[in-house]
Amino acid sequence: MAIVIGSDHGGFELKEVLSAHLKAKGLEVVDVGCYDTNSVDYPDIAAKACEKVTGGECEWGIVVCGTGIGISMAANKVKGIRCALVSNEYSAEMTKRHNNANMLALGGRVTGPDLAKNIVDAYIKAEFEGGRHQNRIDKISALEG
Ligand code: RB5
């Protein structure tokens, strides 16, 4: 299934790097913008990316803004989205294994391109462990109301 990717202007360059990286791995990518460095509002991009996951068109996604903070905050407001702001490979691995995150957030002004690619690869390689971690995710879902 496809992977959705989106960014605001602050994350545009890193989004392009990660989109090319995923495609080079033979993965299908759905790009919800932005498509240049003109200023856009990250909640609008988060909403578009999250809809692709909650609607079932994409299995998971990546969102990027300048820090990764704003766009992760916005994504986590969407019911069914578990967005992890990650800046290292260990966190990326663990958020798949324990949180079953279905959205990664990165900061285009924080994380360099090679590290970002390694972060995404660590997430892809990891497997959700289920069990007690599913119970905890169910409790997160219960907080959504
Ligand atoms: C945009 O300048 C910047 O605020 C945004 O990309 C992000 O870093 C917000 O959290």
Q: What is the CATH number of the domain that holds 19?
A: 3.40.1400.10
Contact 22, 29 (CB under 8 A): yes
- Give the residue ranges of the chain where pLDDT is below 50: none
Q: Which pLDDT score is estimated for 145?
A: 79
**Rounded CA gap, 2 and 119, in Å?**
18
Tokens representing residue 139 in the block: 């409790």
**Rounded CA gap, 131 and 133, in Å?**
5
Tell me the per-residue pLDDT of 105-128, one tens digit each, with 9 for 90 and over: 999 999 999 999 999 999 999 999
Q: Is 72 in the pocket of ligand 1 (CB under 6 A)?
A: no
Active site residue 65: yes
Active site residue 98: yes
Number of domains in the chain: 1
The residue whose C-alpha atom lies closest to atom 6 belonging to ligand 1 is 66
Tell me the per-residue pLDDT of 130-145, one tens digit each, with 9 for 90 and over: 999 999 999 999 999 7
Q: Which structural domain, as residue segments, surrounds residue 109?
A: 2-142
